[in-house]
Amino acid sequence: MKRSHHCGELSLNHVGQTVILSGWVASRRDHGGVRFIDLRDRYGITQIVFDSEHEPAVHQLADRLRNEYVVAITGKVTLRPEGSANPHIPTGAIEIRSTSLVILNEAKPLPFALDDTITTTEALRLKHRYLDLRRPKMQELLQLRSQVSHLVRQYLHNNQFLEVETPILTKSTPEGARDYLVPSRVNPGEFFALPQSPQLFKQILMIGGTDRYYQIARCFRDEDLRLDRQPEFTQIDLEMSFVDQDDIMQLIEHMVRLIFKETKNIDLPSPLPRLSFEDAMGRYGTDKPDLRFDLQLQDLSQFAATCDFKVFRSAVEKGGIVKALIIPGGNAFTRNRIDNLIDTAKEFGAKGLAWVKINEEGNLDSSIAKFFHPQTLRDALPSAKPGDLLIFVADQSPIVHQVLGRLRLLLGEELGLIDRNRWEPLWVIDFPMFEFDDTAKRYIALHHPFTAPHSEDIPLLETDPLQIRTQAYDLVLNGFELGGGSIRIHAPQVQSKVFDLLNISKTEAREKFGFLLDALESGAPPHGGIALGLDRLVMLLGKTESIRDVIPFPKTQRAQCLMTEAPSPVTSEQLQELSIRTTVKKPTNPL
RNA sequence: GGGGCCGUCGUUCAGCUAGGUUUAGGACGCCAGAUUGUCAAUCUGGAGGUCGCGGGUUCAAAUCCCGUCGGCCCCGCCA
């Protein structure tokens, strides 16, 4: 019995036809003389009727059906009786009057109900992922993900990109994230690493004349997990030769716009807004601002430098800054709520949080109000209104930005300022090339060490490296970093200068990236690229709150797969063959 | 490495902050019966947990204490 149709496609147009459907019993309703089941497959749900009057034998057999039994059904498509149509499902106008039923497989009672209003713990869903995946919502997300991948392939193929696979077993580069290591049996004591990204290979491909490369690439990072971070994740990875920053950004904008239009009929702005790293940090306190609400950081450093409040003045004298958030309606905040804000600010790294209420009469209401001339403060914060609460952080700028940036997000959430139906993509550009790590007393690369500086900034390599801005760009959507890329360094002298500044010695550089350095000296074209997080993109498009919902078989926060119970101990024979001994005290050896 | 929340029948939740009134309760699911128009079907009946695990306090622990395991969220980390 092969199915003639899917469970989501039958309608009034099919009335009278005899069809065969297969699928799972999603629910059953037994009225004695007549029994109903909802038959579900990937495409939808169709109601099946078993009638004792016309088909007593089939009706009798249907008594055995239980949830998630797998069945094949033959029957005639009929119009539902007057008043019993179900407007909630696409096939709700019709039903199948079954003339034959084959039970293909039975199913044990379920560990959890497969509703879309699922209330069970995620752990249970992950353990029984094969059941969880049957839920229409999960099917929809899988489908969405597939559709996005397909659109990406189609679009890039149409733009002369070659899809190239790069190695999964590759070389460990201890810079950056921790590597997943894979021992090599035939090279005792030596290890492959799983790629954190195909970065070096795609640059090599450009030097190899590939011109345009892409890959939907699995990447691996052995770091701690988060809501939007998994140890293995997928990137839309691409690289192009003989292009500049704008070429790549435009290509990606077109692609992302296409994806949003085709999958969700959403029109993203064209062109996407751009914000410099400096402005993003200054106004939003982060390099991935959520532009769905305003609540910008207000710079009060000038005001602070001349005010009577010592905390503010001395922060500025020590080279720091003072910034504020204007919380609309915050005058109504209770003392308790403000205290909570202060505690939160301290958790985020602030030494304290100053606050001033502007009461309805426009007067300042605060223990520190006496230090300020009300009018001077109002002049410094022209958009503050009676009824608002002002909160201030005074410190070195990274701390001020971090604290206020995170308070901004928190307050945006709490005050309901975020419109869930808005899509606010933007590019963040002109990242600094280096940061100075105070504890390690050395420069570290903000992006990665192959990122090219703006050509006019190259002389600064010799004089003032912290002022160098790069040809790097991050695509940000609703506060999530969707991806980032850059024009790469193709001049070997520039590359080695960068390694010098990063305190990577000639021998070290040779050991780690010798092949790339050789390649750069062998006719490297100017090139650049980008990588977009496919998982995050689908997560946002699918309006689901966790990256785990768009990864069919994700890991828990402890980096474990609850279904397969990976990772797991291996036999001592396996370890011996690999010349490996663990230092774990009580290895729970399986054999 | 650190902080927070959580763990009670298959599921979800109540009971815990006055330890005994709990043979641990409700709902969903499950099992049986009834039921010819439901789609969260309905009605009647039934089975099912010793409260994540270990230890302690106590005459008495789901309830208090300590430890431990697991899940989630966050900080660090993620060039």
Residues 546-585, chain A: which have Cβ under 7 A from strand B? 546, 548, 556-558, 560, 562
Q: How far is the CA of A85 from the C1' of B33 (A)?
A: 30
Positions in chain B where some atom is under 7 Å from a protein CB: 1, 10-13, 28-31, 34-42, 70-79
pTM (2 decimals)?
0.92
Give strand letter and number of the nucleotide nearest A64 (CA to C1'): B31
Using DSSP's 3-state secondary structure scheme, residue A455 falls into helix
Q: Which tokens sit at A333? A: 């905040």
Q: How far is the CA of A111 from the C1' of B34 (A)?
A: 28
* pLDDT score of A446 more than 50: yes
pLDDT, residue A24, reads: 96
Read off φ and ψ for residue A515, nearest 5 degrees: -60, -35
Residues 255-294, chain A: which have Cβ under 7 A from strand B? none
Residue A27 Cβ < 7 Å to strand B: yes
Taking alpha carbons only, the member of A61, A60, A69 closest to residue A33 is A60
The CA distance from A172 to A552, in Å, is: 27
Q: Mean pLDDT across the stretch A36-56?
A: 95
The CA distance from A280 to A486, in Å, is: 18
pLDDT, residue A578, reads: 94
pLDDT, residue A120, reads: 81
Decide if A165 contacts A215 (C-beta within 8 A).
yes
The CA distance from A287 to A447, in Å, is: 12
Q: Encode pLDDT of A102-134 as tens digits.
A: 999 999 988 888 877 767 888 888 888 999 999
* pLDDT score of A229 more than 60: yes
The DSSP bridge partners found for residue A35 are: A30, A50
Q: Mean pLDDT across the stretch A77-88?
A: 93
Using DSSP's 3-state secondary structure scheme, residue A526 falls into coil
Q: Mean pLDDT across the stretch A141-156?
A: 97
Q: How far is the CA of A123 from the C1' of B70 (A)?
A: 10
Q: How far is the CA of A121 from the C1' of B11 (A)?
A: 10
DSSP state of A358: E
pLDDT, residue A587, reads: 42
Q: Distance between alpha carbon A376 and the CA centroid of its chain, in Å?
A: 43
Give A157's pLDDT tier (boundaries 50, 70, 90): very high
Decide if A127 contacts A562 (C-beta within 8 A).
yes
- Residue keyed to tokens 């993203």: A268
Ramachandran region, residue A461 (left: φ > 0; alpha: ψ -120 to 50; beta: rest): alpha
Using DSSP's 3-state secondary structure scheme, residue A426 falls into strand
The CA distance from A32 to A101, in Å, is: 17
Taking alpha carbons only, the member of A285, A319, A272, A294 closest to residue A483 is A272
The CA distance from A7 to A25, in Å, is: 11
Residue A100 Cβ < 7 Å to strand B: no
Give A480's pLDDT tier (boundaries 50, 70, 90): very high
The per-residue pLDDT of chain A, averaged, comes to 91
End-to-end CA distance of chain A: 45
Q: Encode pLDDT of A497-552 as tens digits.
A: 998 898 888 888 888 888 899 999 999 999 999 999 999 999 999 998 889 999 99
Give the DSSP letter string of A2-66: --SS-TT---GGGTT-EEEEEEEEEEEEE-SSEEEEEEEETTEEEEEEEETTT-HHHHHHHTT--
Q: Mean pLDDT across the stretch A37-61?
A: 95
Strands A274-276 and A425-429: parallel
Using DSSP's 3-state secondary structure scheme, residue A183 falls into strand
* pLDDT score of A39 more than 60: yes
Residues 192-251, chain A: which have Cβ under 7 A from strand B? 196-197, 199, 221, 223-229
The residue that minimises its CA distance to C1' of B3 is: A347
Give the DSSP letter string of A220-277: E--S--BTTB-SEEEEEEEEEES--HHHHHHHHHHHHHHHHHHHH-----SSPPEEEH
Q: How far is the CA of A322 from the C1' of B60 (A)?
A: 61
Residue A93 Cβ < 7 Å to strand B: no
Q: How far is the CA of A231 from the C1' of B67 (A)?
A: 31
Give strand letter and number of the nucleotide nearest A113 (CA to C1'): B11
Give A55's pLDDT tier (boundaries 50, 70, 90): very high
Residue A46 Cβ < 7 Å to strand B: no
Q: What percent of chain A has pLDDT over 90?
A: 69
Of A11-15, A102-106, A266-270, A365-369, minimum mean pLDDT range: A365-369
Q: Which tokens sit at A350? A: 């602030």
Give A588's pLDDT tier (boundaries 50, 70, 90): very low
Dihedral sign computed on CA atoms, order A311, A314, A320, A321 = positive
Top-confidence residue, A576 or A437 = A576
Top-confidence residue, A340 or A477 = A477
The CA distance from A252 to A246, in Å, is: 10
Q: Mean pLDDT across the stretch A239-244?
A: 98
* pLDDT score of A139 more than 60: yes
Residues 447-476, chain A: which have Cβ under 7 A from strand B? 447-449
Q: Encode pLDDT of A244-253 as tens digits.
A: 999 999 999 9
pLDDT, residue A118, reads: 66
* pLDDT score of A490 more than 60: yes
Helices (H) then strands (E): counts for chain A: 17, 22
Residues 175-194, chain A: which have Cβ under 7 A from strand B? 175-178
Contacts of A195 (CB under 8 A, 6+ apart): A166, A167, A168, A170, A201, A217, A219, A220
Q: Which tokens sit at A330? A: 């915050």
The CA distance from A231 to A560, in Å, is: 10
pLDDT, residue A585, reads: 58
Q: Mean pLDDT across the stretch A209-226?
A: 94
Of A85-89, A359-363, A469-473, minimum mean pLDDT range: A359-363
Q: Encode pLDDT of A383-406 as tens digits.
A: 999 999 999 999 999 999 999 999
The residue that minimises its CA distance to C1' of B74 is: A226
Q: Mean pLDDT across the stretch A241-260?
A: 97
Give strand letter and number of the nucleotide nearest A56 (CA to C1'): B36
The CA distance from A387 to A381, in Å, is: 14
DSSP state of A590: -
The residue that minimises its CA distance to C1' of B42 is: A31
Decide if A345 contacts A394 (C-beta within 8 A).
no
Give A589's pLDDT tier (boundaries 50, 70, 90): very low
CA separation (Å) from A356 to A54, A366, A391?
A: 79, 5, 7
